[in-house]
Amino acid sequence: MKTDRIQAFVKNFIRRLNETSIFAIWMVMLMLTGILLWGFTIDLRNDIMVKTVNKILDDAGEKRKVVAAISTWHIPGSVTQFGTWYTMTGQENAVIFSIIAEGIFSPCLAIINGDGRLDSLIPLTVNADRLISRINPGYLRVWIDRIEKNAAILKRALNEKDRRRENV
């Protein structure tokens, strides 16, 4: 009688283990597929972003254009966590980042001049434009400081990369 209960328990346990393992494998494969798609489509996503931002800049009457994404995978620190960095037609760099305030997701473009200072902050949506006009100046100053610090880190890293390339 005791062995019947043990056998029933083992059969039930094995059945549940099989169901759980199938579900776990399915979840792992789904995550792996998502990771691979995200990684292999980075160039496509950057091209779409460049076209979209350039259309917004055209509509705003801006003469400068975003050219291409800057690869930041080799730069340690918060530069890569802050947003996506781009080169522009002049000597400027730009970063697309999001301010989230008052429950509103607000994508913005910050154009950095050659000195590493913020040249202009361009909201990319109507909601972002409204938020920038209502936001606390101290909160906005914190974002500007972060942009300028990350621009300095990026400039230093890109200069180092160029020096290494010249020495090789």
pLDDT digits (tens, 9 = 90+) for 88-121: 988 888 999 888 888 888 899 999 988 889 988 9
pTM of the model: 0.75
| 35 and 56 fall within a common domain | no
Using left for φ > 0, alpha for ψ between -120 and 50, and beta otherwise, residue 102 falls in left
| 106 and 73 fall within a common domain | yes
| 86 and 161 fall within a common domain | yes
| 52 and 116 fall within a common domain | yes
Please report the sign of the dihedral spanned by the C-alpha atoms of residue 90, residue 91, residue 93, residue 94: negative
pLDDT of residue 40: 93
Detail the DSSP E strand segments found in the chain: 66-69, 84-88, 93-101, 104-112, 118-123
| 18 and 55 fall within a common domain | no
| 96 and 111 fall within a common domain | yes
| 111 and 53 fall within a common domain | yes
The rounded distance, in Å, linking the Cα atoms of 139 and 84 is: 21
| 29 and 90 fall within a common domain | no
Range of the domain at 22: 1-40
